[in-house]
Chain A
Amino acid sequence: MNALAQRAQRAAAVAAQHADAVDREGRFPAEAVAALKAERLLGLQIPSQFEGEGAGLRQVAVVCSTLGQACSNAAMVFAMHHIKVASLVAHGLDSAWHCQLMERIAREQLLVASSTTEAGIGGDLRTSFCAVEAEDGVFSLGKDASVISYGRQADLILATARRHPDAAGSDQVLVALLADQIFLERTSVWDTLGMRGTCSDGFRLEARGLPVAQILPKPFAEIAAQSMLAASHLLWSSVWFGIANAAVDRARAFVQGEARRQPGQVPPTALRLAEVSNTLQALRSAIVAALVRYEDVQGDADAIGSIGFAVMLNNLKTTASEMAVDIVQRALAIVGLAGYKNGTPFSLGRPLRDVLSAPLMIGNDRILANTAKLLLVQKGGGQLMSA
């Protein structure tokens, strides 16, 4: 096992220890995040000139899946943090303020959260109501953020807003707000079926008199298309793979236990295990293929901004989220009541509840509708190894 895998395993061991309590109490996975900081994993993607490790999404994805096997909440917090960091790394290099910020993230292991969702616009992250109001080099921002995952626990929030009060809803910028620069008033509580520890409460966010240098120079439209879409779908899928993988591990252990009790016979559940391991492999292949394609187009803005690439990422999200749910459900069918019951070595209630969020976070119908529009012009004819 390489050094990064070992660091991820150590953090995952801490996450696993507290996963049930985090879920039961609907609280932030504080121990796991402390372990991630201790292992210096929050700065993984930050370029080495800013004291990070310059890792790519492939390495981050591996950590996401390792964590996903232990605690979905810790894994999703880690994924969301790195989705934001991916945008900073891709689009912050020509801004001195954001370069300094990257250095701080690596050095102080700052946890980064995201505020895109806003009251009244639903989940359409490419539209904002709120607007940056800038004057004499400083700006103010007030936002009815209907969801900010771990907003209270984050050291830094990257928030979308319209560029100025007269700008169109889609003319957005991304602003970096340090926790000690803003006022957050909680407006709704995240009490959910699963993913309870992401603490995705709603907030009224207020920021006053902050330097305009904290606004990322690139339009958010470009940030969303060039880095966020890919990072989100690749890292979320890796978390879901981790959850599904752990569920299949439990089903496998269950089937093997049955086999040991009845030597000479193949338990009937083994056939179901064979089926689900097949689906798990297909899920893994889909994610790995997308990661490879992502790496292939790095540095090629045209390829990243192409319709074919967006369709590929959309397809990954809808496919991976559905497969992950299917896999955990099938694992539960293999294990039976021992999986339905909490507190057994084969319990699957928590992972099942957690993974049910996968098709809903950016709803699959919304993504399919977007893909449908893109397919109106895509010509197809892709080859096995290239599309």
Chain B
Amino acid sequence: MVTSDDIRTILGSNEALAPVAQQIAEDDSLFDRGLDSFGSVQLMLALEERFGIEFPDEFLTRRSFSTIRAIRETVSAVLQSVAA
């Protein structure tokens, strides 16, 4: 089970998003809040480390990491496929 607060904690350690992490709403665009391509790679790596998963290439799109909700769904999908 992945919660939005789990995601927010990880966003808090992301250089670009750290100052605003706690104010980001579920569907706010992270890219509009200053996330750039390198920031999103760092975010992906942090999520892989935190949840012990590896995102397959087809999940490595802008949309998969564009909002807290999208991240939660992406991580849940990978966790489920690992469990299955």
Q: Which residues of A contact B (CB under 8 A)?
A: 126, 168, 170-171, 219, 221-222, 225, 301-303, 305-308, 310, 370, 373-374, 376-382
- Let me know if B81 is at the binding interface, CB within 8 A: no
Q: Is the CB of B61 within 8 A of A306?
A: yes
Q: Is the CB of B32 within 8 A of A377?
A: no
Tell me whether A377 and B61 are in contact in the complex, defined as CB-CB below 8 angstroms, given that A171-B32, A221-B36 are known contacts.
Answer: no
| Chain A residues positioned under 8 Å from B34 (CB to CB) | 168, 170-171
Among candidates B29, B33, B41, B56, residue contacting A379 with C-beta atoms closer than 8 Å: B56
Number of A-B contacts (CB under 8 A): 68
| Chain A residues positioned under 8 Å from B60 (CB to CB) | 306-308, 377-379
Q: Is the CB of A376 within 8 A of B31?
A: no
Q: Is the CB of A225 within 8 A of B41?
A: no
Name B6-50 residues within 8 Å CB distance of A.
Answer: 16, 29, 31-34, 36-38, 41, 44-45, 48
| Chain B residues positioned under 8 Å from A301 (CB to CB) | 62-63
| Chain B residues positioned under 8 Å from A377 (CB to CB) | 41, 44-45, 48, 55, 60
Q: Give CA–CA (A330, B37) in the complex, Å.
A: 37
20 A-B pairs with C-beta separation under 8 A: A168-B33, A170-B16, A219-B29, A225-B37, A301-B62, A301-B63, A302-B63, A306-B57, A306-B58, A306-B62, A307-B61, A310-B37, A373-B37, A373-B38, A374-B37, A377-B41, A377-B48, A378-B60, A379-B60, A380-B57
CB distance from A307 to the nearest CB of B (A): 4
Tell me whether A170 and B36 are in contact in the complex, defined as CB-CB below 8 angstroms, given that A305-B62, A306-B60 are known contacts.
Answer: yes
Q: Give CA–CA (A310, B36) in the complex, Å.
A: 14
Q: Give CA–CA (A374, B42) in the complex, Å.
A: 9
- Chain B residue with minimal CB distance to A300? B61
Interface-centre pick from B37, B38, B58 (highest chain A CB count, 10 A): B37
